[in-house]
Chains A and B, each alone.
Chain A
Amino acid sequence: MSVRGYIRPESVWEIVDRLAGQGVRVVAPTRVEGTCMFGEVTSSKEVVTDYLLPQNTFKEFVFPKEEKVLTYIRRPEGGYAVTEPPRAYPETVVLGSRPCDAAGIAVSLKSVFSGEKWGHEDPTFLDRLAATTIVTISCDKPDLSCFCTTMGLGPDDRSGSDVLLTRTETEDPVFVVEALNDKGVAFVERLGPLVRTDHESRYLYLMRREAGDAARERFVRVFDIERVKEFLDDPSNFDDELYARLGTKCISCGVCTFECPTCHCFDLKDVGTAESGERLKVWDSCQFPDFTLHATGHQPRPHQWERYRNRFLCKFKIYEDTFETLGCTGCGRCVRDCPVHVDITTYAMQAGAKQRRLLEIV
């Protein structure tokens, strides 16, 4: 059993003060303008405690939106001197992640950048992730756009997290602390007296399971992912009318991609002159018209609905087929923040309904 004790509700965010004192970079939900976002904090006073899900994921702390890959300078004697920036990353604790983000970043994104399935390893991501401890707090309720249970996760899912804190639904609620791997155990040890052990861990485990089950009840399964996958697996559906009908609504911005915990596409850009300059790795989005634009001018996805089809396929088929992890963890950010309220679950529901109708006819 992984239960290590419990933390009193009022002490949870004191973790920030304790860790900041030890020189650790702490990333937690904090207030930016009118909204709540993951950001670096140095004191528990900066933390937003009544959040449901921060607007961004903590992806940018392991996969920065803009990163220098190398710098070059022409040598006077001829040729170029190329230097890579040092790969030393500070120890980081992400406090207050949610299960959807932890699974999306530490499992799905990792399956892409570790190269296990396709042979291209990204050490900058892996080194950053290795230096990061992910402390997840279980959800107790969804909002209108959450659909993690549809994707096979849940409000108390452990995948990707190093430590999981779950608030019990008892009269005197406490946060049950579970250390899920060695990194998690080391983290809990650093917390010292904040983690109390005067309850029996078997009791805490049962209370935690009960809270998780109760929370799960409050989540709705929106569509049947098996049906959607069947629909996408059938190549004859590639030109289905569904794609053009729903995809035309998309205005081709990158909000959904940049807020997504599993979107990983990036572009390499050389900035500078023949004398000196640098190569940058920047986030890219498959929704942009210049994504996949060939040097010849040929664009294999000339219409916006074709780009949206690509995103839909990537989330529910390509990710699973290529990296064998979830392409979508159901965090719902793309649904919440779409400027024109395009809802990927509506899309999936309609795809699934089409598949069901086909099965009935057969």
Chain B
Amino acid sequence: MIFSTQFHDAPREATLADAIAKAKAWLASGEVGMVVGYGRQSAFTDLTMPTFLTDPEQLEEELVWNAFCDYNLLNYAELGAKEQHRGRGGVAIVVKPCELHNLDILTEEGNMSGVAAGNVKTLVMRCSGVYETERLNAYTRDNAELQVQTKCLDCPEYVTAHGAEKVAREKAERDDYQQYTGRIADDTGIDWGVTLNRCLHCYACRNVCPSCYCTEGCPADEAATAHVTNALKMVRGIETSRQVVYNLVRTWHIQSRCSECLECERVCPVDIPIMALKAKLGREFAGEGSPGDVIGFLTALTERIVTQGVASDVGTGEPDK
């Protein structure tokens, strides 16, 4: 996880009450027009849904802060520009310390993302780890024990909260952490042709990515990937699939701006190890700089990454191939 950020020393809110007091004052003075925070999903669970509040009286009732606040609210940072446009200051967003790097990217690229120090204020919570909420679900029956996400084990805040010794033990004991770090270092066990073709093209990884903010013209969107897949076939004679092209283009596109928050891996419905792909791309193309010829570059990408031959048999349900 990447922690070098200009916001690294932003003041932390020790409790939810502190954050609410701050947000109330901002709302009252008109410095912000809206608070983006975590609210309860339903009466039955501890899970959280994003909530957008404009009334200071609602804050205490609606906001929650617990270990189920797993996703990144900076995805809604563009609301800040909208609020400012309406003449209501901006937004205050509840963020975890690990997400501050994303704020760095968003403000640095503010002319495109619309995020500026003036329209996004942060309520940085003191965090002691967030749970892997998928363990609550049905697919595997080991619902009993919740554990923190793999990214938390590398987080200095988590180490401060739980002690270096406990964290080191947890790292050694957890298979998923071992698998995650192992794959980043060495991906030889992964058949990229098969793995990437599992992709459903649902865009969850892209839409949840806090470094992605464009609303149109995405180089990884449906039309662009179909066009590139076609061009690869026509120009270079490479048979590949939209799924492979999508993943390569998207992963390459966020390569230098990724904060390794692992949100994409968390939300992927078919569990593609995206961080391992990112690491592989980094190794393969180290020092080569930005490509000028897009098709040429993508040819190199597909040839070097998906070496398992033809990867066009995309439908797992497609029997007649």
Binding site for B on A (CB under 8 A): 25, 32-37, 39-40, 50-56, 60-67, 85-86, 88-90, 92, 143-146, 220, 248-249, 251-255, 257-259, 269, 271-273, 277, 282-283, 285, 288-290, 332, 336-337, 339-343, 345-346, 349
- Docked complex: B175-223 residues within 8 A CB-CB of A: 176, 198, 200-204, 206-208, 215-216, 221-223
For B48, what are the chain A residues with a Cβ–Cβ distance below 8 Å?
A: 341
A255 in contact with B267 (CB, 8 Å): yes
Q: How distant is the Cα of A230 from the Cα of B51 in the complex, in angstroms?
A: 27
A-contacting residues, B263-302, CB 8 Å: 263, 266-267, 269-271, 273
Query: In the complex, what residues of B have CB within 8 A of residue A249's CB?
Result: 49-52
Q: Which residue of A lies closest to B70 (CB)?
A: A341
Q: List 7 A-B contacts (CB under 8 A).
A: A56-B270, A251-B208, A257-B202, A273-B234, A289-B215, A340-B50, A343-B47
Cα separation A145 to B242 with both chains bound (whole Å): 32
**B75 interfacial contact with A, CB 8 Å:** yes
> Which among B208, B216, B229, B316 is the interface contact of A39 at CB below 8 angstroms?
B316
Q: Separation in Å of the B17 CB from the closest CB of chain A?
A: 24
A253-B315 contact in complex given A144-B45, A337-B269, A341-B41, C-beta closer than 8 Å: no
Task: Report the nearest A residue to B142, measured CB to CB.
Answer: A50
Chain B residues 11-47 with CB under 8 Å of chain A are: 41-42, 44-45, 47
- Contacts beyond the supplied A145-B137, A289-B215, A343-B42: 11 A-B pairs with Cβ under 8 Å: A32-B271, A51-B139, A66-B318, A144-B44, A249-B51, A255-B202, A258-B200, A269-B226, A271-B226, A339-B71, A346-B49
The answer to the question of B128 belonging to the interface, with a C-beta cut-off of 8 Å to chain A, is no
Q: Does B172 contact A (CB under 8 A)?
A: no
Q: Are A251 and B75 in contact (CB under 8 A)?
A: yes
Q: Is B4 an interface residue (CB 8 A)?
A: no
Q: Contact: A259 with B269, CB < 8 Å?
A: yes
Chain B residue with Cβ nearest A331: B138
Instruction: From known contacts A143-B138, A253-B202, A285-B202, infer whether A340 and B71 are also in contact, taking CB-CB under 8 Å.
Output: yes
> Does B319 lie at the interface of the complex (its beta carbon under 8 Å from any beta carbon of A)?
yes
Q: Distance in Å from the Cβ of B218 to the closest Cβ of chain A?
A: 10
B207 to chain A: which residues have CB within 8 Å? 251-253, 339
User: Please, which residues of chain A bring their CB within 8 A of the CB of B51?
Assistant: 249
Contact B141 A51 (CB under 8 A): yes
